[in-house]
Structure 1
């Protein structure tokens, strides 16, 4: 049935909503600037020697060391202190409260991803120490790295393809891992218990610095059972079936500092992450008698080498070089059985169909980046760089189909067994050059302009296919014959960005930014055949790149005890890739096409106020967002705001920090809220359908502290009471139902 918020128009005519959207965005921009100016005129009580999160230095926003306060981009940094307080089982959980960021897992526990400003996680670039993790799937890159090995996390919200690669339509997440400790030998260990999954996580590391060498070796294990959720819409037993998962992680770091001034540094890092998980199925059609998804292998291995030279001369300031090699091995298994009872005369006999499919993939990527920072003039700071990325995917698909029509004897049941196999190899090679100039043309103004040119070469290296049919028993594996590969193709694309900051108001930075995003189709979307849940999706080698343009205004105000960071943004994206019935395929097959557009606008806010004379800090962080998707079907176009994007999401509360029983302590009472989400889809068989999850609010309390040692942090503990009122909720249709009332207890020690 057609949803009332879905607007239909004739093919070739898009809904006339641009004027309304632009007017709303302009009103938000004006109101945000007014709030910032009013705040700048209000007296505030500064903390003596206080350092705030706006003072934190970040690299990800400009590829230069710039404080969050003065960054032209929408940047958030989560430092090691905050990571230690949060006992989440993944890096994604550490970023859940960043304005404009949503955690998604597509019903696969332990494989959490991030959506930024409504963009799917496939359109978010994930970097580890500045090097990209690629993942050719329809869901995007999962963040598979041990939180205990992370120094800090930097996030850019909004398009950032000029500086950080051809996937950054929604944003960028850069995870910086730890180096060696200051002392010759330091041993660390820790663990967390999660009552919501009856799970645990344990880790240990040894690190240090000896002379000019520094090192760190670490490892972790974790294991989780089915998650506990309140009885209700999603379960009657209090547990979600098929939601256990387990991880293990190993990492090594070796670094060496050299040069008379100690301004040269070279490092080698290696890591391995292995994940085994399943998928929560949820409600299924009554005709499906069996459905399972198993992901027993998700292994990532990476080796990277890095060089940094600092303060090298009056013109050449810094030089950065890095290179890496990475593999991702993944195994996906899907088993579906359906039963259709006899219903004469349309279906005179009952029919049983069972489909088992396996996908065994290997993703290999390697590349590197060279960057030179130069200062030809005191008012100009310029960077030049070049990057190369080779992204290869080998995929082996295996499908077994059993179909039985239960005719009476004689003549007996009519059976058919089909065994199909295919092999695909494809590669994307990307070379890009980038430049950025920071021009301080006035004491209070800085103009940052950047550009990047991408040249992409795409090859379909191998395609082999075979099938076998038998009416008696499952046939042996079929032989493979060479199929038709797609012609090689290439693409060139220029993306740009321009940012302006103004610091002429005391304690305040005003900023404006225009940025562009760009993402090539994945190798799966172009060349691979994907089977799952009885649906077959064929690749389309003629797909074009997705692109976006974003405009934003922001204001940051910081006196130490009053901190405000607000942003309004407006983004347009086009050539979105979606699926449609494949006219060249079998009945029911789908294929990928460029058919959709998106318009997103909203407001992001993070603010806090430390009450003078107390250790209490009320705070709020969150986002208001609207996202309209425009769809192109074969004979008509339609649009909807039901894009699975919560209109409002965030966190508010009050925290305390002080001293108790001769140790540093903190406490935090807060609520997480979301307005719910709706998603409207259309299909030729069912027409318009809308799925939804209601709004929610959870009450939470956390406390912890540190004590012992020279820095009073030899021992750290944290206790998190989550969803105290045991509310049933789901933040969006792209995330598993939330865990009910639970506690997480973590302890860290170092010697």
Structure 2
């Protein structure tokens, strides 16, 4: 499902003009995540997903929704949990934001922990590929995913507007509904939304287990991915006060889900999150600053891992994050912003499978970004960030975490520079060079226990030092009206890359009883993996193009092409790093005629044999998808009915970026129908 932006977004404009399709309105998106100065041309490799694009790509999880974006893969832990991977980097190296503020969940700790966000609530997604640590901290050393939901309206609303959507189908037989209502008098604005989704066990081609691990005498489930069903429910209320030179507002949202862990038969995850947000912006100021923006959020997150009706482990994360950005008056040719950010997380894990101690993490940062229009063709940018992080563990008397006896403090520094050079009206070059430091997380420092979801006994290292990286990328961009896209390369060299490295040892697991005859994991012994600092190298290529083929009485035809390739290597032992997506190529033929729209998509992924010795390879695949939609009006409301089919040739798809590649394939053939409206 998808909420339809009710302000001037492309999809809203298209719906409003459905009765007169010969008219056209084109709005150029501005990416504010990578550049708060709001300039259209940013040096950072970034992209926006909204409107029709977001509708066509939207799935139940954020990872699957973004999986076909250049440079973005998915951790895929079944339909209940999937987090984005950017250029081979995942976990705590990718920051997921809500309206510019951290989500503060536990999804970076473990692949089975879902991001507590249903893409149905999202109106716009901004993706920064590569280091964005300058503005958002060392945890953004690999990139940023920023989602926007308008739960605090940032512009005036006149009258009453709404949107709603129903969906049914898919490989997991999704039944979903969503609605939102916005009302205002030009000064006060109110936002209400609610959504609900239920899904069954996922249909898959063949066996859940791959031939590499399947026991011929006990082959396991076939055509269904066992224990992959679940539900997601959520809602929010928010409001704002708008005036000529700014706005201020508050919101409260609730997320509640329950889904099965496909790695552990009989285990379910029950997740709840309460999130409170505040934002305010003052514009057109006099004095040293022309505008000031404040964003703050407080989160109370909990999820329980339940087996046979009993709670075995409970994870909690309470915390806040606040940031202020102030745009200063031009200093000669320089335009820029300065800002500060503060955050606190109180994390605890209680129960038999708790493999990390209670930990409080505090951070304080100062940052700046300056931009200089050096000439009519050349634009330069330079920024810096200083960040102090304190990680304070408390074993609470648990002997397992005896080494977690003292706090660790880190001072991280990041520096970045960028340039955009307009070669001519069609072609431009964008280049970036950055140095980034990231403080290790509490689980990299203090983990000590069996992590059943990953099938490993994870051991942290309290003596770990900062992760350091030098990164650069170069992109050639083009737009001649017929073709619009870019081709770029990137390279990152890490000193002290904190990886989870196998030691070759086997450690005792948890000793509580399990009555599952087909349990995929042996809880009595786990291979030991230790967080270690190694030298590492990442490099690759990304490309995309939208080719306007023709526009005549038969309709408008366009071809969308994209691809990416990433290679990553542990320079200390010479082996490839794990869970790196292979070469991927995407193509989509798009057709529009009056009220009709349709597309055919082909995605190809090569086999992935570059992996560490203790990992398995994945086979290549090619999938086919198609969709068709029809717009119509009923009174003063605009409607869209659509049908979407995916993996229509029913190919077995196993993501190299998923730790469950050998026991949890991606969905098989699916067909989904939907109906949405705005008024």
TM-score greater than 0.5 by the shorter chain: yes
Aligned to 1:390: 344
Which of 569, 572, 579 is the aligned partner of 1:628? 569
Report SS of the residue matched to 2:352: strand
**Structure 2 gap ranges (5+):** 1-21, 210-219, 509-524
User: Per-residue displacement from partner, 1:457-512 (whole Å, max 9, x unpaired)?
Assistant: 12124522379xxxxxxxxxxxxxx9675222211111110000112411332111
Residue among 566, 569, 575 paired with 2:490: 569
Q: 1:588 & 1:228 partners in 2: Cα distance? A: 30
Partners of 2:536 and 2:195 in 1: CA distance: 40
What is the Cα deviation at residue 437 of structure 1? 0.5
SS of structure 2 residue aligned to 1:490: strand
Give 1:726's aligned residue.
650
Residue matched to 1:41: none
**Residue 463 (structure 1) aligns with:** 396
Gap change, CA 1:178 and 1:746, over 3 Å in 2: farther
Equivalent residue, structure 1, for 2:448: 529
* Superposed counterparts of 1:140-159, under 5 Å: 142-159=114-131
Q: Residue 647 of structure 1: CA displacement?
A: 3.0
The residue aligned with 2:519 is: none
Name the counterpart of 1:501. Answer: 420
CA distance in 1, matches of 2:61, 2:79: 11
Whether 1:673 and 2:596 are equivalent positions in the alignment is: no
* Counterparts in 2 of 1:135 and 1:517: CA distance versus 1, 3 Å: farther
Q: Does 1:705 align with 2:662?
A: no
Partner secondary structure for residue 229 of structure 1: strand
Aligned to 2:39: 66
1:298, distance to aligned residue in structure 2 (A): 1.9
Q: Does 1:273 align with 2:229?
A: no
Q: 2:550 matched to 1:578?
A: no
User: Which residue in 2 is equivalent to 1:714?
Assistant: 638
Q: Distance in 1 between matches of 2:31 and 2:640?
A: 26
Residues 679 and 690 of structure 1 are in contact (CA less than 8 Å); yes or no, is this contact kept in structure 2?
no
State the Cα distance separating 1:422 from its structure 2 match: 9.3
Q: Using a 3 Å threshold, how does the CA distance of structure 1 residues 538 and 640 change in structure 2: closer, same or farther?
A: closer
Partner of 2:142: 170
Report the alpha carbon displacement of residue 749 of structure 1 after superposing the two structures with TM.
1.8
Where does residue 84 of structure 1 map in the other structure?
55
User: 8 Å contact 2:157–2:187 — kept in the other structure?
Assistant: no
1:610 to 534, 548, 553: 548
CA displacement 1:306-348 (0-9 Å, x = unmatched): 011123247522211122211210223579xxxxxxxxxxxxx
Mapping 1:459-498, distance limit 5 Å: 459-465=392-398, 485-498=404-417
Q: In structure 1, how many angstroms separate the alpha carbons of the residues matched to 2:43 and 2:281?
A: 24
Match of 2:616 in 1: 691
CA contact (8 A) 2:566 2:581 kept: yes
* Residues 246/517 of structure 1: CA separation in 2 closer, same or farther (3 Å cut): farther
Q: Could you state the TM-score of these two structures normalised by the residue count of structure 1?
A: 0.76
Q: Does 1:656 align with 2:575?
A: no
Which residue number corresponds to residue 275 of structure 2? 302
**Equivalent pair of 1:334/1:532 in contact (CA under 8 Å):** no
Q: In the aligned structure 1, how far is the partner of 2:436 from the partner of 2:198?
A: 37
CA deviation string 1:163-214 (max 9, x = no partner):
1122112210000112558442223221111231122111121212223011
Structure-2 separation of matches of 1:449 and 1:594: 32
Count of residue correspondences? 616
CA pair 626-649 structure 1, distance change in 2 beyond 3 A:
same
Task: Assess, with a 3 A threshold, how the Cα gap between structure 1 residues 214 and 276 changes in structure 2: closer, same or farther.
Answer: same
Q: Distance in 2 between matches of 1:715 and 1:49?
A: 18
Answer yes or no: is the 8 Å Cα contact 1:116–1:157 preserved in 2.
yes
CA RMSD of aligned residues (A): 2.9
- CA 1:357–1:292 in structure 2 vs 1: closer, same or farther (change >3 Å)? farther
Distance of 1:245 and 1:308 partners within structure 2 = 39
Label 1:610 to 1:484 Cα distance change in 2 as closer, same or farther (>3 A): closer
After superposition, residues 232-631 of structure 1 pair within 5 angstroms as 232=207, 234=209, 237-258=222-243, 262-281=244-263, 292=265, 294-313=267-286, 315-333=288-306, 358-377=312-331, 379-398=333-352, 424-465=357-398, 485-533=404-452, 536-575=457-496, 576-579=498-501, 581=503, 590=528, 592-614=530-552, 615-631=556-572
- 1:59-80 Cα distance to aligned partner (Å, 9 max, x none): 011222122xx11000110123
**Higher alpha-carbon deviation: 483-492 or 242-251:** 483-492
